[in-house]
Amino acid sequence: MAEAVLEDRFAWWRESTTAGRKALAAASCGWMLDSFDVMLYALVVASLVVDLGLSKQTAGVLGSITLLSAAVGGLFFGAIADRYGRTRALIWSMLIYAVFTAACGFAQNLVELAVFRILLGFGMGGEWASGAALVAETWSDRHRGKALGIMQSSWAIGYALAALVAGIVLPWKGWRAVFFVGIIPAFFTLAIRRGVEEPEVWKRAAALPFTGAKNGFRRILQRDLRAKTIAVTCMNACTLFAWWGFNIWVPAYLSLPRSRGGVGLSVHAMSATVILMQVGMWFGYVSFGFLSDRFGRKRCYIAYLVLAALLIFGYGRIHTPWALVVLGPLLAFFGTGYFSGFATVTAELYETRIRATAQGFTYNVGRVASAAAPFTVGSMAQKHGFGVAFAASGVAFLLATLCWVWIPETKGTTIS
């Protein structure tokens, strides 16, 4: 009986195609390593503040400009993915963010570090739009949410790996060596180039006359799609603001001394606490994919966002380590898992010829607004403490739920 139940749970995987599984592996690898590279900054920011003499506001600005650059990269690579293919765009974006993550380790001053973070962000933004379209187009509507949930969950794995590396390398060799490890993703692009083909649905669309990326951007803002596009973009802006405003400062909150508003954990304790949060984050990503395939995208999104808001209001006011260990994974579960639904919803809202462009636009224009989060939360933490600062993320989660008034349920949509 137990074996029959286990087989049924994995039936969705057996029903997938070889091309779909390869696409999922490639996109998951890219997103995991994207997370690994970009979150190294959050894990060493406390050291940068001391070593380079940065204020919390300046450190927040560095996080913000990275997100702005990622927004530009997402728009650019979304159009590239629609024109030249999902796989090519994925490979080039990974190479860019890997090379410039490592370059951050050579920065001698604030200006050099800012330049490298800008270039890193450009590649980071492009990876998501390419990988999400690749997975969405190689999986059926019945299991698309699950597949994209698995892909999205790789972010938590990358973040946990970054925390592990920081916990080992930072006390041993310093923050520069932590960034040098970020070159690793460059070597994975060779496997993607050899083993992953473009989706058949993209090949059919690519065979039609190309009308230009400009028309793709114009199409998503035409009357029949305009309200949906604006609502999805605003929803994403709110969720990204909430996520980055919280996550870019969690390691600093945990490791800064109590005299500076933090909890005062050691580097090893901070890394261990962050890794535990990634466990909750991973389960949040995966569970959302399965639940949204079962109960619908909208219902699950709203439930996760409301619970995330309630949990985050209390997190920044707790300074007891054991309580943070308990609350952290729960907050990460609800405060991140909903992202698994974004690629699914946008893939089901837009047609193949403009899909990556639409995903790049709605995700990355939203990211422009969210770029204010690291600076805003850092400034609020400087003046009012982390409790008030993290509450801003909670408010953003609640605002995101309102956007779903204009976003339709997309469960069951067939991509063609």
CATH code of 17-200+213-405, in short, is: 1.20.1250.20
Number of H helices, E strands in the chain: 20, 0
Q: What is the pLDDT of residue 215?
A: 67
pTM here is 0.76
The whole-angstrom separation of Cα 370 and Cα 238 is 7
CB 318 within 8 A of CB 173: no
pLDDT at 25: 87
Tens digits of per-residue pLDDT, 191-229? 777 778 888 888 887 777 655 555 678 888 888 899 999
Decide if 167 contacts 267 (C-beta within 8 A). Answer: yes
Identify the band that residue 60 occupies on the pLDDT scale cut at 50, 70 and 90. Answer: confident
Say if CB 117 and CB 388 are below 8 A apart: no
Q: Could you give phi then psi for residue 209, rounded to 5 degrees?
A: -60, 135
What lies within 8 Å, CB to CB, of 14 at 6+ separation is none
Mean of pLDDT values over 164-192 = 84
408: amino acid identity, one letter: P
Distance between CA 225 and CA 339 in Å, rounded? 21
Q: Minimal CA–CA distance to 20: which of 235, 198, 158?
A: 198
CA angle in degrees (0–180, nearest 5) for 204-153-400: 85
Residue 348 pLDDT more than 80?
yes
The helix (run of H) or strand (run of E) holding residue 295 is helix 267-295
SS3 content of the chain, % helix, strand, coil (to 5): 85, 0, 15
pLDDT beyond 50 at 234: yes
**What is the distance between the alpha carbons of residues 90 and 80, in angstroms, rounded to a whole number?**
10
Burial group, residue 313, by CB count within 10 angstroms (0-12, 13-18, 19+): middle
Instruction: Judge contact between 160 and 275, C-beta under 8 A.
Output: yes
For the chain, domain boundaries: 17-200+213-405
138-171: pLDDT as tens digits: 888 888 888 888 888 888 888 888 888 888 898 8
Spell 318-335 as b/e; 16+ CB within 10 A means b.
Answer: beeeeebeebbbbbbbbb
pLDDT for 144 equals 87
Judge whether residue 106 has pLDDT over 80: yes
Per residue in 306-342, pLDDT (tens digit) is 999 999 998 878 778 888 889 999 999 999 999 888 8
| Terminal Cα-to-Cα distance of the chain (whole angstroms) | 38
